[in-house]
Structure 1
Amino acid sequence: MPPPKRRDRTHYLYIAVIAAVLLGITLGFAAPGVAVGLKPLGTGFVALIKMMISPVIFCTIVLGIGSVRKAAKVGAVGGLALGYFLVMSTVALAIGLLVGNLLDPGSGLQVTEATRDAGAAQAGDSAGSTTDFLLGVIPTTLVSALTGGEVLQALLVALLVGFALQAMGPAGEPVLRGIGHLQRLVFRVLAMIMWLAPAGAFGAIAAVVGETGVDALTSLAVIMTGFYATCALFVFVVLGLLLRVVAGLNVFTLLKYLGREFLLILSTSSSESALPRLIAKMEHLGVSRPVVGITVPTGYSFNLDGTAIYLTMASLFIAEAMGDPLSLGQQVSLLVFMIIASKGAAGVTGAGLATLAGGLQSHRPELVDGVGLIVGIDRFMSEARALTNFAGNAVATVLVGTWTREIDRARAGDVLAGRLPFDERTLVDDGHGGAGGAQSPEGAEEAGAPRSGEGPEPAPAQS
């Protein structure tokens, strides 16, 4: 007889998150002063999750690259992913431009002195040049990349270590096994932190409702509604069609599989809070470890579909509100600059607003005062940005896995149908052979394809 199935207690955890969000909204309207004081609860929870980002990225990428025999295979996956990200950012820009020009949402608003001050503050906080961005990818030391909280720095060090272990051959096997055990530990700690999600969601949503109130939402409802509708159009139509044609999967089924991650993002307004879980779930789905390890972390910095739509529509909104509409040529040049400037800021709450202010400061400084118009609702638009970015990265991982033949289609069908549930207790020990333990360079297949074992530990592959 098969052993009795243990009840998934995390089901109650996410029911508690939903209840916490509703309670936080209620408190935000009923007692705004008290609600704002709860902001540290949300900030602390997101900080705990971000604490785990660099170790997760390091372990995942090192194990993925170290288990592939040919370095050219990793380069092919990375090149294909970056090419796809560039195309989809362009598509997102085009859709944002189209909807933004049709809605004409900024007409009729007035820019007060307080609004001008808020816009100037955002422009002052926005970061520097492309050179600063590129130099910022290089960490101070090899270890500081794992402690500094910078996604791109962790990605660079993980790539270097992964290729070094790959070049070591059999001598690198003990290190790979050790990193495999470290990955299990990291995901176990993450699973423990997730039990604080209700408190974090309660504090985060209560604070934003208490700070914003109803007035700001009603006066700017047009731009918010248009932005949410545009994001939904992009995810369900553009990404959904791509997923169906290329991978033969239903986008609604995939998004349902990632439902708990979307709830986490909605309550914290940060897509980074769900990055470790996305890596684990994509490996569980049947996408090979190298593809997941390269596509997901890279996508968090370069696949910013939601941010592209936001920057497009917000720029048009501000220009209309300031009575100085942008010509088509100005729209394209400004927004291309913004997309480049936004790389590396995908998971940070409020980074989109700083990028918007910085882009306007560089190209149309007379419009910077209008950024203050969006400050009041940016937190709500940040949620839609994060949700869209997350959905885009999930779909991108499946598509890249399909194009490189690095996805187990039969397993993906079983997982999405609910026949192979994800192990919420450990995030990795589900026997799918992709996130369990380290694979040796000899034992792994050349392409790093996943294996579909059913036991608690993946059996070593035969050479």
Structure 2
Amino acid sequence: MPSLRRTDPPAGDAAAPAPRKRFTRQLYFWVLVAIALGIAVGIAFPAQASQMKWLADLFIKLVKVVIAPTIFCTVVVGIANLGNLAKAGGLALRTVVYFTATTLIALAIGLVTINILRPGVGLGLSFDEADAADTISEASSTEAEGISGFILHLVPDSFFSAFVDGQLIQVLVVAILVACALTMLGSRAQGAIRGLTTIQDVMFGVIKIVMYAAPIGAFGGMAYTIGEYGGQILGSLAYFMLSFYATCLLFIVVFLGLVSRITGFSLMKFIRLIRDELLIVLGTSSSESVLPRMMTKLEASGAKKSVVGLTIPTGYSFNLDGTAIYMTMGAIFIAQATGVEVGVWTQVGLLLFMLLSSKGAAGVSGAGLVTLAASLAAFDSVIPLAGIALIVGIDRFMSEARALTNLIGNGVGTLVIARWTGDLDRERLSYVLDNPNSIDMDELMRVDNAAADTDADTAPGTEDAARPAQVDGEAVPDGAADPSGDRKAAPSAAG
């Protein structure tokens, strides 16, 4: 069966314009309303609002239920469809190289800006070690023992323990092993691939249902944040928080903007494309809450399914740019606030250590603080580990900037790697960025719609098939056959 590709716009009036969804039917509208209500409730009723965190936690848990099986199925099917282990290895190598480089740059930017802005110098703050006891305890229980500990952490205790524990990096390792085994089976693996594709489609159906609760999760998360911590953002801590936000913005606009331009797309248009996901992350302080939606949207934007399936899960463990910035800025701020002078070479050593310790950190709220504490434990003789108590109170506000930066960084990284490997439909991407409403997530995540492409997706060695483009709930008609015999599912001419 010929593969379906979303490439050129149809000639002439191949597709009739479809009515756009009303503003009040867009997900981002209701998430915005929920965030505004959460802020209002947090300010007016702080005591009651501080008890609403369970709403955000419930939404995140509902999403996390399907993350591991979705990633497993997507990675296995994507790599198996390549039909070539050498190509899969090349994709994995480029992914790791790019993510390592961007993490290093994020760490360096955080280190440079904290030394220039110096928000903690001259404060002479005292702290209560009891405020950081829980964080230090959690960090000590998860601290990796150097390179060997990091490598051992990649492998789960059993095949299913990675799914039970929710360790994305371990799920990714298991998925790669299974994908390699299926590739070696050749045509005999097609039945298993079709089965995994069906499971993936069911998971997308569950995600679509769960997303109806996104505004509730955003409301609870924002109400809790304002009600619990709103009064603690004072004086020098506010300066540090604003310094961190400014640094994240600098990283996104300057570095990611430059990378996007080199790759051939506009960063601002990409941010507009993922506005729904950004608002959900803003409300829940967790980038994991939109992981499946990001995978679907990037694939619909022209990135090959095999690239998205490998790059996004890897990025959630290896490319936490916001967390990297937070780690170097947080460490040096603690040193400045406690009057500790940290030499240049010690800071370089701290940066290199954090390059390793930041890998494998989960993309959930609070992981940045724990990872920072685990890194400071190795430099406790220079920077007091208990000084982490200084930023515990504002970490919730910092986690929102971390999660937003992580999400944008991983999205941009996926498109960069897809372009690098020649697996990016640039015309499709350009059209989608200019017409973000041409992607209807409700239709893309429908089980019956996703299953329609199973036959085209699951033949090893064939070009990966992308789901047909959707314009406000209607599949776009195929264009004329090209000389190769492939049919093209083209974006609508409506605009």
Residue 255 of structure 2 corresponds to which residue in structure 1? 238
Q: Give the distance between the partners of 1:378 and 1:151, measured in 2 at CA.
A: 23
**1:36 pairs with 2:54:** no
After TM superposition, give the deviation of residue 119 of structure 1 in Å.
3.1
Residue 271 of structure 1 corresponds to which residue in structure 2? 287
The total of aligned residue pairs comes to: 459
User: What do the CA deviations read for 1:177-219 (whole angstroms, capped 9, x no partner)?
Assistant: 2222222111111011011111111111111111112233444
Residue 128 of structure 1 corresponds to which residue in structure 2? 143
1:349 aligned partner, one-letter code: S
Q: Residue 93 and residue 28 in structure 1: after superposition, are their counterparts in 2 closer, same or farther (change >3 A)?
A: same
Q: Residue 400 and residue 458 in structure 1: after superposition, are their counterparts in 2 closer, same or farther (change >3 A)?
A: farther
1:337 aligned partner, one-letter code: F
**1:99 pairs with 2:113:** yes
Q: Give the distance between the partners of 2:206 and 2:117, measured in 1 at CA.
A: 46
Q: Give the distance between the partners of 1:125 and 1:264, measured in 2 at CA.
A: 27
Q: Is the 8 A contact 1:318 1:371 kept in 2?
A: yes
* 2:165 match: secondary structure: coil
**1:440 pairs with 2:463:** no
- Equivalent in 208, 233, 240 of residue 191 of structure 1: 208
Residue 193 of structure 2 corresponds to which residue in structure 1? 176
* 1:444 match: secondary structure: coil
Q: Is the 8 A contact 1:231 1:384 kept in 2?
A: yes
Q: Residue 160 and residue 8 in structure 1: after superposition, are their counterparts in 2 closer, same or farther (change >3 A)?
A: farther
Return 248-257 or 157-166, whichever deviates more.
157-166
After TM superposition, give the deviation of residue 141 of structure 1 in Å.
2.9
After TM superposition, give the deviation of residue 21 of structure 1 in Å.
1.0
After TM superposition, give the deviation of residue 250 of structure 1 in Å.
0.6
After TM superposition, give the deviation of residue 135 of structure 1 in Å.
2.6
Residue 348 of structure 1 corresponds to which residue in structure 2? 364
Q: Give the distance between the partners of 1:103 and 1:4, measured in 2 at CA.
A: 51
Q: Give the distance between the partners of 1:237 and 1:83, measured in 2 at CA.
A: 20
2:339 aligned partner, one-letter code: G
- Equivalent in 110, 123, 126 of residue 109 of structure 1: 123
**1:282 pairs with 2:295:** no
| Residue correspondence of structure 1 range 310-389 to structure 2 within 5 A | 310-365=326-381, 367-389=384-406
Residue 118 of structure 1 corresponds to which residue in structure 2? 131
TM-score, structure 2 as length reference: 0.86
After TM superposition, give the deviation of residue 435 of structure 1 in Å.
9.9
After TM superposition, give the deviation of residue 11 of structure 1 in Å.
3.5
1:180 aligned partner, one-letter code: T
Q: Give the distance between the partners of 2:434 and 2:387, measured in 1 at CA.
A: 48
Q: Is the 8 A contact 1:118 1:372 kept in 2?
A: yes
After TM superposition, give the deviation of residue 39 of structure 1 in Å.
1.3
After TM superposition, give the deviation of residue 334 of structure 1 in Å.
1.5
2:197 aligned partner, one-letter code: G
Q: Residue 7 and residue 29 in structure 1: after superposition, are their counterparts in 2 closer, same or farther (change >3 A)?
A: closer
| Residue correspondence of structure 1 range 183-222 to structure 2 within 5 A | 183-222=200-239
Q: Is the 8 A contact 1:120 1:368 kept in 2?
A: no
Q: Give the distance between the partners of 1:144 and 1:271, measured in 2 at CA.
A: 23
After TM superposition, give the deviation of residue 123 of structure 1 in Å.
1.9
Q: Is the 8 A contact 1:93 1:312 kept in 2?
A: yes
Q: Give the distance between the partners of 2:232 and 2:159, measured in 1 at CA.
A: 49
Q: Give the distance between the partners of 1:63 and 1:435, measured in 2 at CA.
A: 16
* 1:363 match: secondary structure: coil
Q: Give the distance between the partners of 2:144 and 2:115, measured in 1 at CA.
A: 29
**1:254 pairs with 2:270:** yes
* 1:220 match: secondary structure: helix
**Structure 2 segments unaligned to the other structure (5+ residues):** 1-14, 487-495
CA RMSD of aligned residues (A): 2.8
Q: Give the distance between the partners of 1:433 and 1:184, measured in 2 at CA.
A: 6
1:65 aligned partner, one-letter code: I
- Equivalent in 412, 424, 445 of residue 441 of structure 2: 424
Q: Give the distance between the partners of 1:431 and 1:400, measured in 2 at CA.
A: 30
1:370 aligned partner, one-letter code: G
Residue 313 of structure 2 corresponds to which residue in structure 1? 297
Q: Is the 8 A contact 1:430 1:456 kept in 2?
A: no
| Residue correspondence of structure 1 range 4-83 to structure 2 within 5 A | 7=21, 11-83=25-97
Q: Residue 348 and residue 57 in structure 1: after superposition, are their counterparts in 2 closer, same or farther (change >3 A)?
A: same
After TM superposition, give the deviation of residue 430 of structure 1 in Å.
11
2:259 aligned partner, one-letter code: L
Q: Is the 8 A contact 2:52 2:224 kept in 1?
A: yes
Q: Give the distance between the partners of 2:281 and 2:241, measured in 1 at CA.
A: 18
TM-score, structure 1 as length reference: 0.92
Q: Give the distance between the partners of 1:186 and 1:363, measured in 2 at CA.
A: 43
User: What do the CA deviations read for 1:106-161 (whole angstroms, capped 9, x no partner)?
Assistant: 124343453x2223442222022244443333223323333331101211111112
Q: Is the 8 A contact 2:28 2:275 kept in 1?
A: no
Return 377-386 or 104-113, whichever deviates more.
104-113
- Comparing both chains, which one has the higher relative contact order based on Cα–Cα distances under 8 Å and sequence gaps of 6 or more? 2
* 1:348 match: secondary structure: coil
Q: Give the distance between the partners of 2:418 and 2:100, measured in 1 at CA.
A: 17
Q: Residue 433 and residue 453 in structure 1: after superposition, are their counterparts in 2 closer, same or farther (change >3 A)?
A: farther
Q: Residue 298 and residue 434 in structure 1: after superposition, are their counterparts in 2 closer, same or farther (change >3 A)?
A: farther
1:308 aligned partner, one-letter code: A
What percent of counterpart residues are identical? 42
Runs of 4+ in 1 over 6 A off after TM superposition: 430-435, 451-454, 456-463
Q: Is the 8 A contact 1:284 1:430 kept in 2?
A: no
Q: Give the distance between the partners of 1:432 and 1:256, measured in 2 at CA.
A: 25
Q: Give the distance between the partners of 1:368 and 1:228, measured in 2 at CA.
A: 23
**1:406 pairs with 2:406:** no
Q: Give the distance between the partners of 2:205 and 2:266, measured in 1 at CA.
A: 31
